[in-house]
Amino acid sequence: MNITEDNNKRLKDIQKIEGISDKDMAVLLKPVRINRSTLSIKGKKYPAWRILYNEALGPGKGGIRFHPGVNEDEVKSLAFWMTLKNSLADIPYGGAKGGVAFNPKVASKAELEEVSRKFIDVFYKVLGQDKDIPAPDVYTDGQIMSWMLDEFEKKTGRHEPGMITGKPVELGGIALRGDATAQGGYLVTKKMAAAFLAGKKNVKVAVQGFGNAGLFMAQKLHKDGFKVVAVSDSKGGIYQVTGLNIPSLIAFKKAGHPVGDFSSGKQITNAELLELSVDILVLAALENQITKQNAENIKANYLIELANGPITYDADRILAKNKKIVVPDILANSGGVIVSYFEWAQNRTGQILDEDYLRKLLEKKMKDNWQRMYDLWKEKKEKVTLRQAAYILAVTKVIVAEKLRGRIKG
């Protein structure tokens, strides 16, 4: 499945709805720069990428993914979504992303460190606090960010903590970053529930993916009284119609067990989880999970894209036809990059900001950004999807910035 083709189709639809010229839209059709390399480690070769998609609004910003399935089309698409996400979030960043086709789950700690340092060795010249700023993504974490920062500083001979975010607090990170993506997703889910599910009791939720995004999301929803009936990880899922004991399940997962082995509940596959009869389906794993093959079978009326790109273009159309409401990735999972921006700003100014203040700022940003998207959706008489409303806001801002810079003439 080619994700770039899907993204281009989405842009074409926006172009038609808003009457955007080909010349204006051209700036969003391809990345500014693709850096490719191969990391050679102990006779093994791992393809690696850092892609800067657009930098009209500021330096590139986006995570680094370690996963055996990583490929150029995926990294390019993730960098494209970062461009729109940062634009919609109103933070001064362009969009970028990195990835290594490598499976950290079967690697030793020493190998993991070597891959992390090698990534910086080959790409450090295009990175930096004013150029392009990485962060964690799937199967990368604060330890990996620490090795990367250390390698970058060794190469450049100076301290520059703002070159990477998602760092442990000891190296200039902020504690809030840990669950920020889920916190942002939770806040927009509350806004969505207030708009569409007001007064409904016992709202049933299924969560696909139980990592940084999915685990904290399940925890927050459970704590707030949502009934989380199913969760899954890469090995499969667990379903309990009366609601799962999420704190016990988190302890079980943290002890190193797959969620499917949890003692109370029925084992299900990831495919089955997606088609459960629930109110809200949270997608927090990988892209292309809902496609034209399974979109007709989706029973949840509300879908939250905590993962990037979990729904294909064709599936989007089927879901829209069936009146399903999808809260798009570029809004739903933007909490992580918003808090990364706080971290970067602190690193750059040397000023330490109060965590409670930052927590409130994140909340305000998420709610305001939801509202702008929702208001535009209403203004368009609900004839577009929420994703299209979000894309219109994000795309327009990038084009305006390109024009102000004089890069689009006329």
**SS3 at position 29:** coil
Q: Which is nearer to ligand NAD, 25 or 82 (CB)?
A: 82
Min CB(352)–ligand NAD separation in Å: 22
Q: According to the binding rule CB under 6 A, does residue 388 interact with ligand NAD?
A: no
- Choice among 76, 97, 204, 253 that is catalytic: 97
Distance set, CA 189 to CA 96, 197, 233, 330 (Å): 26, 10, 21, 14
Q: How far apart are CA 134 and CA 130, in angstroms?
A: 12
Regarding 390 and contact with ligand NAD (CB under 6 A), the answer is no
Q: Determine if residue 294 is labeled as part of a ligand binding site.
A: no
Residue 191 is a catalytic residue: no
Q: Does 56 bind ligand NAD (CB under 6 A)?
A: no
The answer to whether residues 294 and 269 touch, using CB atoms and an 8 Å cutoff, is no
- Residue 181 touches ligand NAD, criterion: CB under 6 A: yes
x/- binding map, residues 191-210, to ligand NAD, per CB under 6 A? -----------------xxx
| Among positions 57, 91, 149, 213, the unique one binding ligand NAD when judged by CB under 6 A | 213
Cα–Cα distance, 177 to 305 (Å, whole number): 19
Any residues with CB less than 8 A from the CB of 325 and at least 6 apart, and which?
192, 196, 301, 302, 303, 386
Distances in Å between the alpha carbon of 403 and those of 23, 27, 29, 393? 11, 10, 16, 16
Is residue 155 annotated as involved in ligand binding? no
Has 212 been labeled as part of a binding site? yes
Stretch that binds ligand NAD, among 28-36, 114-122, 230-238, 351-359 (CB under 6 A): 230-238
Among 96, 115, 306, 386, interactor with ligand NAD by CB under 6 A: 306
Assess 165 for contact with ligand NAD (CB under 6 A): no
User: Segment contacting ligand NAD (CB under 6 A): 108-116, 126-134, 303-311, 349-357?
Assistant: 303-311
With binding defined as CB under 6 A, does residue 212 bind ligand NAD?
yes
Instruction: State how far the Cα of 330 lies from the Cα of 345, in Å rounded to an integer.
Output: 21
> How many Cα neighbours within 13 Å face the side chain of 206?
29
Which residue's Cβ has the minimum distance to ligand NAD?
211
Task: Rank residues 25 and 373 by Cβ distance to ligand NAD and give the closer one.
Answer: 373
Rounded Cα distance between 63 and 74, Å, is 13
- Residue 333 is a binding residue for ligand NAD (CB under 6 A): yes
Separation of alpha carbons 150 and 74, rounded Å: 27
- SS3 category, 170: helix
- Strands 227-233 and 204-208, bridge-based pairing: parallel
Asked if residue 45 belongs to a known ligand binding site, the reply is no
Handedness of CA 173, 174, 178, 179 (dihedral sign): negative
Is 349 annotated in a binding site? The answer is no
Pick 113 or 233: Cβ nearer ligand NAD:
233
Among 15, 270, 294, 396, binds ligand NAD (CB under 6 A): 270
| Nearest by Cα to 109 from 138, 144, 135 | 144
Q: Considering the rule CB under 6 A, would residue 31 count as an interface residue with ligand NAD?
A: no
343 binds ligand NAD (CB under 6 A): no
Q: Could you tell me the sign of the dihedral formed by the alpha carbons of 200, 202, 204, 207, in that order?
A: positive
| Total chain residues near ligand NAD (CB under 6 A) | 24
Q: Which residues are catalytic?
A: 97
What are the residues binding ligand NAD (CB under 6 A)? 136-139, 181, 208-214, 232-234, 270, 284-286, 306-308, 333, 336
